[in-house]
Structure 1
């Protein structure tokens, strides 16, 4: 399978998603918006993955490529591609699907419990969060998960488009990259952990990885 992914900053890459792709011998191509970006033709890839980043979906004045990205995401959905959006990726999907994206009441940064509605996981788990924005559920989408600080944590649109506000793909290296780049955000609050708490929570990544791989296996079947 040919997977194309959209990456917004150097420190938020595929992480564990790349491990899954390697296990399945899938090929990976990327549009890195922070470099000289190029987008593939729809016929040149089978699955689209949209990663996270510190910018907002509404920051088009500062990041004019967001307009092209949203158009490309819409085209990929309309073409029937399996699509997965992570964090900012889930917000971009929500925006493209007509839902409002806006600042959440709380910043949510750290390892906090997620309650699932049963589709992605049969039990709750602790996942890594790093976001300040949230979104309304797109019309017609199915709500899949929530946390105490954020109602809309995951959703499915149709049968092959998924948005995840949290980071099931987190690895030790990915976490260190985010701490190094965005550590200034770690101002202790009710739903914000400090560096040490973030590092101590990495053991939860084994369980989130299993849920991620199960979801990717599901999306793979649509190719």
Structure 2
């Protein structure tokens, strides 16, 4: 009997930007995709792990987007039930906000950056060259969240819960060189001097999948 699948919680609110959710979901071909802003919700009794995607929405838009509060409660439930969870970009911000942190808009950064990773199984074999496209940042981490990645402009670039199997990253492991044109058109991509070909974000998703599998077998 196969293990319960990972659920990819898609958070994009504008159809023209859904390509980043598509790219992320492509790393989890057996996943259940959940369109959270459209009202779909994952059944936590039937999933082994959660991945929370990016979004052009802001986590502070809760008055206009009531689903954001629903997803914050989803994070709290996942922590309580110890369901392995990975938050990416908006997911990174939402997790930290759900657990009492703060998120602020500081202006768009869209480029390759060099990250500094802690010794963590999520980052095993992952290149420090990573792509970002975001305007919001986590300025104070959530309760029990520790910083496990940083960049020269951003201290809380990645976080992990002290007790629960919960990880978050500000960068986009799903971005590949094939998306460079879309990113340039949509976010004003800045050529930073780093090479897109040196990024290997798919490895991070492989590591998370291994974490989920190990948790399901334990």
TM-score by length of 1: 0.79
2:15 corresponds in structure 1 to: none
Q: Distance in 2 between matches of 1:107 and 1:88?
A: 13
SS at match of 1:70: helix
1:4 corresponds in structure 2 to: 7
Q: Does 1:133 align with 2:136?
A: yes
Q: Distance in 1 between matches of 2:113 and 2:136?
A: 16
Unaligned runs of 5+ in 1: 187-191
Q: Does 1:204 align with 2:184?
A: no
Contact 1:15-1:174 at 8 Å conserved across structures? no
1:94 corresponds in structure 2 to: 96
Please show how residues 66-215 of structure 1 align to structure 2 within 5 Å. Answer: 66-104=68-106, 107-119=108-120, 120-121=123-124, 125-135=128-138, 136-157=140-161, 158-180=163-185, 182-183=186-187, 186=188, 193=190, 197=191, 201-206=195-200, 208-215=201-208
Deviation string 1:51-79 (CA, Å, 9 cap, x unpaired) is 00111101122322212222222212212
SS at match of 1:221: helix
Contact 1:3-1:28 at 8 Å conserved across structures? yes
TM-score by length of 2: 0.81
Structure-2 change in CA distance of 1:175 and 1:97 (3 Å) = farther
Contact 1:108-1:149 at 8 Å conserved across structures? no
The Cα of 1:17 is off from its aligned counterpart by 5.4
Q: Distance in 2 between matches of 1:109 and 1:85?
A: 19
Contact 1:116-1:123 at 8 Å conserved across structures? no
Q: CA RMSD in A?
A: 2.6
